[in-house]
Amino acid sequence: MKKLVPIIILVLFIGKLLAQPVIADASNFPLPGVVFSVDHVQDTSGMSVTGANSIWSFDKVVVNNLSTLTIQDPSSTPFYSSYPTSDFAFVQIYASTLYDYLLNSPNKLECVGNAIDLGTGVGQDFTPDPQTWFKFPFNFGDTISDSYYEVGANAESLFLTYDGYGTLYLPTITYSNVVRIRMDYWFGTELMWWSTNPLFPVMYFKRNLPTLYAFTPQPATSVDNVKAESSIFIYPNPGNGKFTIERTKNKVQSIKIYDVLGEEINGNPLIENGQWTFELKDSAKGIYFISIFDEEKNIVKKKIILQ
């Protein structure tokens, strides 16, 4: 029996390695309409924990509700024309209403607009060179560097490090498979904790206040409901004619293409090697919307830009 001990230890070690959550893509990002409570965490002493199988314990600390954060379709927001390539929008309502715009691609998630104020229209415009939030895949121990450029400011750089994973305990909810991302800017360090299934922020340390925020789905939107229904990419996007739909879950049954006026157009959709393609070479340059119907009767809407 003693000879089995090294084998058992090896199996347990391999199992531990396999338990490391990987941010593979943003296919399970929350659907539009999901609402989170944003709470101020009074005690920040437990946030410095890093490494494998970490425990972040905030279940006994005092939290004060500050605002709400809603996932919204960017095309329904007032600043969409300034960020037409964005795929997701965060809307935070506090003293004012602020909008964040995110761009999703097969190899990274980027911020193209940050804290755009509804009243003034002022915020951080990163459209010349977006700020990276993740690379895909993002594994425990990975560090990446990113340069970004804000309109009206100088080009800057930051380092993103996936430096911990484990379980996060809050007063009303426990998140498992959480990863911690360390963001090192020239002006200091900020921290973000993300749930990986579904993919959404669960805690954020903002350096300049300094304040620790926690995000909790409101009762009407449970954690299960924030999982995206599909895993779809359309590429290249922007593109100049031919587009391909890549899906990793249910098979695509049909697609419909609409212009910005809601008129359906013919994109000559075809199936090539199990993937759907369509062409807009004879269409006017601009924004188009794609409705994708799968075998389980889900409808997923995406937007593309024809250059």
Residue 120, Ramachandran bin (φ over 0: left; ψ between -120 and 50: alpha; else beta): alpha
pLDDT classification of 113: cutoffs 50, 70, 90: very high
Q: Which two tokens stand for residue 32?
A: 């539009």
Q: Is 58 within 8 Å of 170 (Cβ atoms)?
A: yes
> Is 189 or 246 the better-scoring residue by pLDDT?
189
Q: Is 289 within 8 Å of 282 (Cβ atoms)?
A: no
> Which positions ≥6 away from 205 have C-beta within 8 Å?
44, 47, 190, 191, 192, 211, 212, 213
Mean pLDDT score of the chain, rounded to an integer? Answer: 84
**204-73-226-24 Cα dihedral, nearest 10 degrees:** -70
Q: What is the pLDDT of residues 231-285, one digit of tens each?
A: 577 888 888 888 888 875 667 888 888 876 667 888 888 887 778 888 988 888 8
pLDDT classification of 224: cutoffs 50, 70, 90: very low
Q: What is the pLDDT averaged over residues 106-135?
A: 95
pLDDT of residue 143: 97
Q: What is the pLDDT averaged over residues 194-221?
A: 85
Query: Which one-letter amino acid corresponds to residue 77?
Result: T
Domain segments of the chain as ranges? 35-226, 232-306
Residue 123 has pLDDT above 90, yes or no: yes
> What's the CATH class of domain 232-306?
mainly beta
pLDDT of residue 250: 66
> Is 271 or 5 the better-scoring residue by pLDDT?
271
Query: Which one-letter amino acid corresponds to residue 63?
Result: V
Share of the chain above pLDDT 70, in %: 86
pLDDT of residue 249: 63
Reference 205, options 236, 180, 224, 227; nearest CA is 180
pLDDT classification of 228: cutoffs 50, 70, 90: very low
pLDDT classification of 11: cutoffs 50, 70, 90: very low
